[in-house]
A and B are shown apart, each in its own frame.
Chain A
């Protein structure tokens, strides 16, 4: 079966359709890492987006449960130049069958580089994926609002049984963030982002990790003052959307990048040390540096290529945020030490508390 991806600028790209026939609209985004398709398609930050892989050969090592970042494929559609259908490792399943099981279509045999050039030149766009050629009657707007004031699932899940108790504020976290905490012997409470402050305080967590998540941080505007209160009372660490949310909570503005940063090769400079390191990134929105004047926050990391804000710290509070993904998965594992720093900050604070 053939299929077509049509961009809202009118360009269309044909390919071979895998999976059940359905019609989808979603923001078209591209990922430039050469490995990591298992992690990418299951990363909740890609929720509802149509992902284009720049690397043309996808699927060579199948999909293994231990690598996936959430229980299902989060992307709405997957676009590849070539989908591998040969032998894979024992115990893995093919990407095609994994996607089919999740009801997510894959379009293969597509001129992905041209799509990326379109997005690069025209900026991020809505796109339409369907087995047939006709254009959609109505272009839906790009979905950016993934949060409501009322969260359906209000349950708090607890994992691990360590000395330190971390609250993971769940904006749809990647499982490797949780894994990094568990690896460091933390007890982790997964907190609904709508959790009332009283209920949070009752948990007596030692610190908060504001997770990654999809879409526009402004969708969580209603909670900014609450989060600021939390961050002023708990050692806090924000990742990706968590970083944007914390920055916003302290008064910063966010803006949308022309076509986002999604890849495993983004250099960032640590302003304090001058060191440059490679980071894994996946974001459309960015904290507007000029708006930081209105906040107590200072820049910790910047992007080497476009100078955008990649991390912040609070000069007097134990609050650190990063736009990139220190948990990697996929991508370079160069920033795992940020988890160690978060933990040691909490430990120091605890010590002070005990001694005080």
Chain B
């Protein structure tokens, strides 16, 4: 069937800010969908207020609205744009919920907007647990005994019938937020209470727990003709009980017989047919490990994190094909874009194993509750591909980019065995490493199976790694043969691990391997297990076999990616990598992308000329460069991850484009950095380098409190803290495990400003300047910021630009870097120079029309500054743009929401307008969407000493009342329905109260400037709600 006639303009809803449970995967799927629709000649209008995305680039759609994703806003956009169709299945749960709300409000019918793909009734049938259960009963598909409850009373009634353990799942929430498994009544009551409040319709499903079953997923597609395919199935290593987003997942399934595989495949297809899905759908099952009995867990009638993973694991672009199905194509008339010769109506055959491991934020948030359950906590994930499962696991582990010793987590080696066993049972983010540790201590796979219910197959895989490690340790380097070394490599051991086993340097192994011609092969992901020829350059390395053909042979440059999304290193770096690839292609180069994050656009095989799915270690990267014959790489765009490998690459003879590694080190090493500033006549912040804990208080005393402690080379301000007096310092030093040297800075109290700078060492372009709303002491990623600045004098801005130019001219650096400034009274200090792209680059590029990354890439490759014609591109920045951070505190119990130099936010939104106040309102509205509604007023709990900082009348006029401990105890306030915000502006806010408030989706304000911003927002709210559109 050809595409639908009569559809010319389509509105696509994005997923908004990155939060846990809804992350970069929707940039990938959204970008694919927008491009697929444009390919069909459709006019694409996009609404998404997440600036760090590729999908919001001008070139991806025809028009972008950076607007809060509310019914009113989208309705206003529909009124103005009059689209013929709406695509709501690529914007995650946010997109789906919005489409349902727009349909319920009659907006779609009023403006004659057709919902493309799966229709509203089908979406509702899949999403509404009651309707869904009824349909499954009709189909004879087993679902666990469950009940829909709206109150604690009815929940308890169900518990009395079924007994514990029980699972609580709130309706319509992201990433299973608010749910969990209750072993007893007390936990159950607390989960149901939390779940009812988390659910927008105050509805929870309570069901019999089937924890311990195998968890299996299918990615299914269906076209309007009724043709169904399953693109991929996946098996969770962690049995049912841990959210699939927090589970280690392999593809394809490994321990299911053909009969089981097809039993669940048939079931998936029956379900998708009965629901009438048109597009993609994710079906999750629980399979009894012995009897083959199964239960249906969940159906997601849209593209999802799993579909992104399945797309990357198989090469089958689910979102792209789903978008084509939504406009009327059938699977059989679409080509399989990987082979180019076969058709989209087939099921990929894999000839490799894929392992996904989630990336959790607990290396940064050590105080948060790291236990895993039905509520997702990971911020990102890595994927690895190999032809043996062991090697795939080890590659995935390397890709996590956390401080490990091979497959060992050093902190666990000191724990007693019974503690480790308890950790294996209770499962937190460290479980994989706990299992390795227990195997190293001689526990059998059977012991571990009894503790964890993990299928013995997976434990056997881990054991083979451990056994091989122990065997290797018993060998010596001098006795090594090529055959024996190859065996170790084929099980995934890195040169670094091996070097450790034999106490030699990794380069010695590298050198010997090369002389023995022991190099990995590169295989293509071709969707068809080599049955058909495929010229797609989507590769993975393997030590099991020989290499496939690599087509193309122009001059090449590799772009090193940023790995998994984590706090402080988010989707913005993927944006930068993608732009660098585009720039390389425009300059006539072949762009080779190396990355391991399955969620992102950069790992879409259609983006770069060749894609390598590899860990971001020097060895893995050098192997690729060797295979490709590449000598030039770009490390400026992959955040700290790519920067961290620069030195080893340079040492191996690779050219780091833009600057020598020495310059990067000069900026990153605080001592050298301050010396640099001094050498070019700029004042630096008074500071000392402490080489051990004893030196810290001495230097602090010399500098005067407060002081800022900062380690070098960190992401997201990790380990940074402000200490106000000696007592605090002593306490902090006692409880913190520091790696010295540590820098002790005088803590400057003032206004932070930052800018991204394009430079070729001679000429300089200072891009948009961002003024941070919150003063120093708040990580730049967590502060609200505005560009152009509103409170700096023209002279101050001139000084700043001059300083930036002065720096650039004195750095032997080509490309893009970021400077963080601080004004203390009239004195301008340079706080930090990040010799790489920064978090603000996508926003900066979008608000100025100057594509910073593309220009930086050109500069690195020798383009002259003049030919870039930046002035011509620059739009004069006609609007004010405000960036507001978005936090995922609701997913991370125990994490203190108090703003500090350590970053906590997971995402951001922007608001733009010619009026700075309106821009601010839009940004804050967008950032508040997951939080208590401020429009209707409510109660604000404020700590007594904070009262003096607040102008109560403005709030009271807007329907707010204030509570203090004296008028209503905090615990009691927390139980009220009217609670909206918590304020504590004291220097050392109450962490416990703040955390409790944050987990209840309340606003938590710990800085005067934040309160002021929201004060203005609340004040203007009524003017804003009538649907303000972007210009």
Contact = CB atoms under 8 A, between A and B. Distances in A.
A and B: partners? Answer: yes
B266 A333 contact: yes
Contacts of B528: 32
A117 B256 CA distance: 28
A81 B544 contact: yes
Nearest to A262: B531
Nearest to A265: B347
Interface stretch (B338-346, B741-749, B985-993): B338-346
B261 interface: yes
A86 B460 contact: yes
Interface string A263-276: 11111010000111
B545 A114 contact: yes
Interface stretch (B221-229, B574-582, B899-907): B221-229
B351 interface: yes
A12 to B, nearest CB: 13
A331 B258 CA distance: 7
A299 to B, nearest CB: 16
B545 A35 contact: no
A347 interface: no
B836 interface: no
A329 B350 contact: no
A265 B348 contact: yes
A305 B345 CA distance: 9
Contacts of A56: 351-353, 387-388, 544
B523 A333 contact: no
Nearest to A266: B346
Contacts of B414: none
Contacts of B348: 265
Contacts of B331: 276
Contacts of B330: 276
Contacts of B446: 87
Interface string A29-52: 010111110110000000000000
Contacts of A275: 225-227
Interface in A257-292: 263-267, 269, 274-278
A67 B530 CA distance: 27
A263 B269 contact: no
B346 to A, nearest CB: 5
Contacts of B255: 60-61
Nearest to B343: A304
A330 interface: yes
A334 interface: yes
A117 B549 CA distance: 11
B259 A54 contact: no
B342 to A, nearest CB: 5
A175 to B, nearest CB: 13
B523 A55 contact: no
A17 B341 CA distance: 37
Interface string B259-280: 1011101100100000000000
Contacts of B523: 113
A304 B345 contact: yes
B351 A334 contact: no
A278 B331 CA distance: 12
B879 interface: no
B276 to A, nearest CB: 15
Contact of B445 (A61, A87, A113): A87
A120 B545 contact: no
Contact of B254 (A30, A57, A328): A57
B259 A263 contact: no
Contact of B349 (A34, A305, A330): A34
B262 A32 contact: no
Contact of A67 (B259, B266, B290): B259
A269 B225 CA distance: 12
A135 to B, nearest CB: 21
Contacts of A116: 529-531
Contacts of B262: 35, 328, 330-333
B866 to A, nearest CB: 50
A111 interface: yes
A6 interface: no
B546 interface: yes
Contacts of B461: 86
A269 B332 contact: yes
Given A267-B345, A267-B346, A276-B331, A55 B529 contact: yes
Q: How large is the interface on A (under 10, 10 to 19, 20 to 34, 35 or more residues)?
A: 35 or more
Interface in A55-112: 55-57, 60-61, 64, 67, 81-82, 84, 86-87, 89-90, 111-112
Contact of B531 (A263, A276, A278, A332): A263
Q: Interface SS of chain B: helix, strand, loop or mixed? A: loop
Interface in B329-375: 330-332, 341-343, 345-353
Contacts of B253: 35
A54 B346 contact: no
Interface centre among A113, A116, A264 (most CB of B within 10 A): A113
B258 A67 contact: yes
A33 B258 contact: yes
Interface in A270-327: 274-278, 304-305
A119 to B, nearest CB: 9
B257 interface: yes
A5 B346 CA distance: 31
Contacts of A64: 257
Contacts of A54: 349, 351, 529-531
B532 interface: yes
Contacts of A90: 290
A56 B388 CA distance: 7
A87 B345 contact: no
B457 A87 contact: yes
Contact of B332 (A55, A60, A89, A276): A276
B533 interface: yes
B325 to A, nearest CB: 13
B392 to A, nearest CB: 10
A34 B227 contact: no
Contact of B257 (A67, A82, A267): A67
Contacts of B464: 86
A112 to B, nearest CB: 7
Nearest to B232: A34
Contacts of A36: 258, 261
B258 A274 contact: no
Contacts of B261: 34-36
Contact of A276 (B252, B345, B353): B345
Contacts of A34: 252, 261, 349-350
B545 A113 contact: yes
Contacts of B226: 275
Q: Which of A86, A269, A329, A330 has the most CB of B within 10 A?
A: A86
B389 interface: yes
A55 B350 contact: yes
A14 to B, nearest CB: 11
Interface in A110-139: 111-114, 116-117, 120
A211 B852 CA distance: 66
B456 interface: yes
A64 B258 CA distance: 11
Interface string B263-302: 1011001000000000000000000001000000000000
A332 B342 CA distance: 19
A113 B351 contact: yes
Interface in A230-279: 263-267, 269, 274-278
23 contacts: A33-B258, A35-B253, A54-B531, A55-B350, A56-B353, A60-B254, A81-B387, A81-B388, A81-B544, A86-B457, A87-B445, A87-B446, A90-B290, A111-B545, A112-B545, A113-B387, A276-B225, A276-B227, A276-B331, A304-B345, A305-B343, A305-B532, A329-B259
| In the complex, the 3 A-B pairs of residues with the closest C-beta atoms, listed nearest first | A86-B460, A36-B258, A54-B529
Given A55-B252, A67-B258, A267-B343, 17 more contacts: A32-B531, A34-B350, A35-B256, A35-B257, A54-B530, A56-B387, A57-B353, A67-B257, A81-B387, A84-B457, A111-B546, A120-B532, A264-B347, A267-B345, A275-B227, A278-B346, A304-B342
